[in-house]
Structure 1
Amino acid sequence: MASFSWHCLALELCFAIIGVGLCRVCYARFYPASFVFGDSLVDAGNNNFLISLSKANYLPNGIDFGMPSGRYTNGRTIPDIIGQELGGLPGFSPPYLDPSTKGAAVLHGVNYASGGGGILNFTGKVFGGRLSLDAQLDNLANTQQDLITYAGMDATRDIFHDSIFSITMGANDFINNYLFPIKEFSLRPLLTPGQFTDAMISKYRLQLTRLHEMGARKIIVVNVGPIGCIPYLRELYSPPADECAAQPNQLAQNFNVLLRGLVSELSENLPQAKFVYADVYRIVADIIQNYRSYGFEVADSACCFMLGKYGGLIPCGLTSKVCPDRSKYVFWDPYHPSDATNQIIAKRLLDGGPEDIYPINIRQLASL
């Protein structure tokens, strides 16, 4: 870690003193940036700057992070942990909407994720302000132009080719769209389940292709987890004891089959692309099924809770109760994993085999 820190400092001095063009080799070898897209699972604080009902910039969120930063968990998100493991100094990828995320700050990567955002622009309408994946890609285009102004066209191209781009999208399209109980905020009255997942895949194909056209080459596509197991949907569907809600999980699995095919299709057809399919559904389902072997004591209920059998009826807020030991809970709140769960997921994505992440893991992708 000390050696890596030194190289990162040298890189920043290199940019400042002798210009970007002479530092491209240094950048590629020692500092692959991380550009993060997604929903509340990976939001690092973008929704703090939106007029939105979906926010996490208040306690007890961030209770183990040191402050409520806008992350929807007690500690770090999966990209945070992966960045730390890979040596992504001087810190986490900053939220795009933070006014300080400009100039040299974007050389380390940017987080574009937004709580409530989805693949489909309609998703999350109930929250008001949120950034869909289309909007996040628009913001990446702005970052790209800023980089060209700051560092030049050639250096920007190299940065995009060398950096890691991760997309965690799709869960909201089910939870806060198709499965949402109020029809005004759901496309369910208009589409069958198959039509809805087909619409998601068609839209996602255009978005991932656009990301490649902008210069991204190392692209991690995270599938939809077992959403029927989150405390919120356990409350909504009331499955038998020790079981998850079957319909939401089936929807996620059907989508994931199509998504894996899409990732393979794009890998074969887009030049120089290295797409990686992250099977978070498999990892989280394994954690929930075998939670005690991972050191957890509770796998069905929220640590931050107020109301409901599983603490899943009301989002985590200032008046919520918090479990005394967050490391014993798989879920932090009605929707999101705890820091302890995120650590396990991140480790398996970093170093796991092809059953968890295919065809290579993130550490291997970063070293290419």
Structure 2
Amino acid sequence: MIYHSFISSCVLILQLLALMVQPGIGAKVPAVIVFGDSSVDAGNNDYIPTIGRSNFDPYGKDFEGGKATGRFCNGRLSTDFICEAFGIKSAIPAYLDPAYSIKDFATGVTFASAGTGLDNATADVIHVIPFWKELEYFKEYKQKLIKYMGYSKATRRLREAVYILSIGTNDFLENYYTVPGGRSSQFTVDEYQKFLIGITENFVWDIYKLGARKIALTSLTAFGCLPLERATNIMQKHACREDYNQVARDFNTKLIALIDKLGKEAKGVQIVYSNVYDSLADAIAKPNLYGFENVDAGCCGSGKFELGLLCHFAEIFLCKDADKYIFWDSIHYSERMNRIVADYAMMYTFNRFL
């Protein structure tokens, strides 16, 4: 009992220290450049024909001005908090948002698209921006940056920027386990993981050739614990789906091996692993340490199935305090959880870029 209390106290101290990460801490990072899915999409999907949007109430109710920006959250995303912790700015704009220009994007931009995946077939499910297109947008961005800053300054900016990749969950939940006659008929789970890791490796080499030197690859989260997956896990009394969590852990093991490999092969690169799996698992296991009261449902509607427009239609049932919830809707984190993820990442991953 004494040992358990000691460990819990140590965990709490570390978490409190993480929450003390403040903006403007003397970072040497001039920009944060983001690729990925809805976990880091600040609204790119608002400007393409897709149902994968969140530019309506109650999304964004806790964002500055109560604005629904297209973030799948009640407020800011983890990448917004990371950017702020580097002392750059409080929110990273979406590349396709016409309200912003290269002047804004020069210090941070996201090319992410909600609903996309590493696999091009995943983007086709709800017709969002495929991963390869995010890379094309980055190439276009580089040319705009050179025109805006000049070749020398732009090259230095790209070299000193931090690049974050947060993607992969949709490849399994939206594609592999959902589309009949699709990837599951072509690959075993292990083969599909290796297929996705291969795409990740090619992507890292692509942005490396374009100037990236500080790269963070984000793990898959414990997606078996997402409210939607728990709600449909009737046979196990709505517990987390351990089979899905095992898939995530196996993928993450392969991702770590890739990071080790690339670290040896890519000259002058700093490539790190951002462990969001443990952030979520720990918050679910010890919610009181983080101030959460609900770990298995979202703030929106019943919290079990609502997502996107369903949250809008169920707005009357919105929870009173999203900070008490790990999840905002049936898939995505609340702003508070995003802050915790960012604080954890700053303490254990991005600290080496300071």
Residue equivalent to 1:183: 180
- 3-state secondary structure, aligned to 1:124: helix
Residue equivalent to 1:118: 117
Q: CA deviation at 1:30?
A: 6.2
Letter of the 1:134 partner, please give it. W
Residue equivalent to 1:136: 134
Whether the aligned pair in 1 keeps the contact of 2:300 and 2:306 (CA below 8 Å) is: no
Cα 1:336/1:216, change in 2 over 3 Å = same
Cα 1:314/1:221, change in 2 over 3 Å = closer
Matches of 1:266 and 1:343, distance apart in 2:
29
Residue equivalent to 2:85: 85
Matches of 2:297 and 2:153, distance apart in 1:
47
State whether structure 2 residue 347 is matched by structure 1 residue 364. Answer: no
Whether the aligned pair in 2 keeps the contact of 1:96 and 1:110 (CA below 8 Å) is: yes
TM-score, length-scaled by structure 1: 0.84
State whether structure 2 residue 312 is matched by structure 1 residue 318. Answer: yes
Whether the aligned pair in 1 keeps the contact of 2:95 and 2:111 (CA below 8 Å) is: yes
Whether the aligned pair in 2 keeps the contact of 1:36 and 1:165 (CA below 8 Å) is: yes
Q: Which runs of 5+ in 2 are unaligned?
A: 1-22
Matches of 1:35 and 1:304, distance apart in 2:
30
Matches of 1:59 and 1:120, distance apart in 2:
30
Residue equivalent to 1:12: none
Whether the aligned pair in 1 keeps the contact of 2:40 and 2:79 (CA below 8 Å) is: yes
State whether structure 2 residue 275 is matched by structure 1 residue 252. Answer: no
- 3-state secondary structure, aligned to 1:75: coil
TM-score, length-scaled by structure 2: 0.88
Letter of the 1:78 partner, please give it. S
Residue equivalent to 1:286: 282
Letter of the 1:220 partner, please give it. A
Q: How far does the alpha carbon of each residue in 1:228-272 deviate from its partner, in whole angstroms, 9 at most, with x for none?
A: 000111123335347301221111111111001001111111011
- 3-state secondary structure, aligned to 1:183: coil
- 3-state secondary structure, aligned to 2:311: coil
Cα 1:71/1:330, change in 2 over 3 Å = same
Please identify, of 238-247 and 139-148, the stretch whose mean Cα deviation from structure 2 is larger. Answer: 238-247
Cα 1:280/1:217, change in 2 over 3 Å = same
Q: CA deviation at 1:44?
A: 0.4
Residue equivalent to 2:106: 107
Q: CA deviation at 1:313?
A: 5.5
1:1-368 correspondence runs (5 A) = 32-65=30-63, 66-89=66-89, 91-128=90-127, 130-180=128-178, 182-183=179-180, 186-238=182-234, 240-241=236-237, 243-306=239-302, 311-312=304-305, 315=308, 316-320=310-314, 321-352=317-348, 361-365=349-353, 367=354
Whether the aligned pair in 2 keeps the contact of 1:234 and 1:312 (CA below 8 Å) is: no
Whether the aligned pair in 2 keeps the contact of 1:239 and 1:245 (CA below 8 Å) is: no
Whether the aligned pair in 1 keeps the contact of 2:42 and 2:94 (CA below 8 Å) is: yes
Q: CA deviation at 1:45?
A: 0.6
Whether the aligned pair in 2 keeps the contact of 1:165 and 1:216 (CA below 8 Å) is: yes
Whether the aligned pair in 2 keeps the contact of 1:235 and 1:313 (CA below 8 Å) is: no
Alignment size in residue pairs: 328
Matches of 2:102 and 2:281, distance apart in 1:
41
Residue equivalent to 1:9: none
Whether the aligned pair in 1 keeps the contact of 2:122 and 2:175 (CA below 8 Å) is: yes
Q: CA deviation at 1:165?
A: 0.6
Q: Which runs of 5+ in 1 are unaligned?
A: 6-27, 353-360
Whether the aligned pair in 2 keeps the contact of 1:222 and 1:279 (CA below 8 Å) is: yes
Whether the aligned pair in 1 keeps the contact of 2:307 and 2:331 (CA below 8 Å) is: no
Letter of the 1:76 partner, please give it. R
Whether the aligned pair in 1 keeps the contact of 2:159 and 2:213 (CA below 8 Å) is: yes
Q: What stretches of structure 1 move > 4 A for 4+ residues in a row?
A: 28-31, 313-316
Matches of 2:206 and 2:83, distance apart in 1:
24
Whether the aligned pair in 2 keeps the contact of 1:124 and 1:176 (CA below 8 Å) is: no
Matches of 1:52 and 1:364, distance apart in 2:
38
Q: CA deviation at 1:305?
A: 2.2
Whether the aligned pair in 1 keeps the contact of 2:213 and 2:270 (CA below 8 Å) is: yes
- 3-state secondary structure, aligned to 1:93: coil
Q: How far does the alpha carbon of each residue in 1:328-366 deviate from its partner, in whole angstroms, 9 at most, with x for none?
A: 1111101101011111111111113xxxxxxxx31331x
What's the C-alpha RMSD, in Å, of the aligned pairs?
A: 2.1
Identity %: 30
Whether the aligned pair in 1 keeps the contact of 2:35 and 2:111 (CA below 8 Å) is: yes
Cα 1:250/1:32, change in 2 over 3 Å = same
